[in-house]
Amino acid sequence: MEKIEQLYEGKAKKLYSTDDPDILWVEYMNQATAGNGEKKAQIEGKGSLNNHITSVIFALLKARGVNSHFVKRISDTEQLVRHMTMFPLEIIMRNTAAGSFATRYDVEEGTALKKPILEFCVKSDDLGDPFINDDGIVALGLATEDELAEISRQARAVNDALLDIFKAIDVQLVDFKIEEGKTSDGAILLADEITPDTCRLWDTKEGSGKIEHLDKDLFRRDLGNIIPAYEEILTRLKNLAAKEGVELD
């Protein structure tokens, strides 16, 4: 497989075309951003960790019957994925109140939710990723009614599988963001990344009583270095994959 030309540079990844129009070459960068890019830093090792973490998670999801765009990890910082037309949506699932949800409704961070909440935001840095409901998505043509039903079904299936995965490694899956796209033959699939940049992950192993963040809130809230936390997540996920006999590259 050959890398041909850069198609896009985002806040965390670069996308390249390949000699196969259905395959993209993705490079994970060390850049960390928060607040839609207002806070920025280069963190040595982050690109490699996220590339490895999302690759293991996609493999663990596949073993649970959840398919994704992931094809293969090809180096420490690069992977091949299926080339999709993305829905311009941030698809957020919440199991525990935290972040903007806790602020919006003045709920204490850490409050268990009686059911998982599926939320959508329009993916737009300029607009600050505004919240949108199902009718808004269909009315603006961001997805059809049928596409939205399938996206929602998949988001809940991803949540069920991720809850199972993180529980097995003593981590509370508080909330996360995914993206979905459509392949050239019209299949809707989970895409982008699932990493501690896009999930809130709280350690339940230490039992110190206070929340131990193993995610990007360490960076967003200036709570400490993300690298040891991301390394811990990767080690635990790899151990789980080995235990389950899930093959990694």
Q: Which residues bind ligand ADP (CB under 6 A)?
A: 8, 10-13, 15, 24, 69, 81-84, 86, 179, 181, 191-192
Q: Which is nearer to ligand ADP, 26 or 218 (CB)?
A: 26
Binding-site partner at residue 17 among ligand UDP, ligand ADP, none, CB < 5 to 8 Å by type: none
Taking CB under 6 A as the rule, does residue 177 contact ligand UDP? yes
Binding-site partner at residue 200 among ligand UDP, ligand ADP, none, CB < 5 to 8 Å by type: ligand UDP
Rounded Cα gap, residues 92 and 177, in angstroms? 4
Q: Which of 16, 30, 43, 99 binds ligand UDP (CB under 6 A)?
A: 99
Q: Which is nearer to ligand ADP, 15 or 63 (CB)?
A: 15
Q: Is 235 exposed, middle or buried (0-12, 13-18, 19+ CB in 10 A)?
A: exposed
Give me the helix-helix angle, 226-244 and 145-168, nearest 10°. Answer: 90
Binding-site partner at residue 199 among ligand UDP, ligand ADP, none, CB < 5 to 8 Å by type: ligand UDP
Q: Which is nearer to ligand UDP, 83 or 200 (CB)?
A: 200
DSSP letter at 213 equals B
Binding-site partner at residue 168 among ligand ADP, ligand UDP, none, CB < 5 to 8 Å by type: none
Task: Confirm if 60 and 128 have CB atoms less than 8 A apart.
Answer: no
Taking CB under 6 A as the rule, does residue 92 contact ligand UDP? yes
Q: Which of 17, 30, 219, 10 is nearest to 123 (CA)?
A: 10
Angstrom CA distances, 244 to 148, 164, 165, 239, 240, stand at 33, 13, 11, 9, 6
Q: Identify the three-state secondary structure at position 123.
A: coil
Angstrom CA distances, 113 to 102, 171, 174, 224, stand at 11, 17, 10, 27
Binding-site partner at residue 80 among ligand ADP, ligand UDP, none, CB < 5 to 8 Å by type: none
Taking CB under 6 A as the rule, does residue 176 contact ligand UDP? yes
Chain residues binding ligand UDP by CB under 6 A are 90, 92, 98-101, 129, 175-177, 198-200, 216
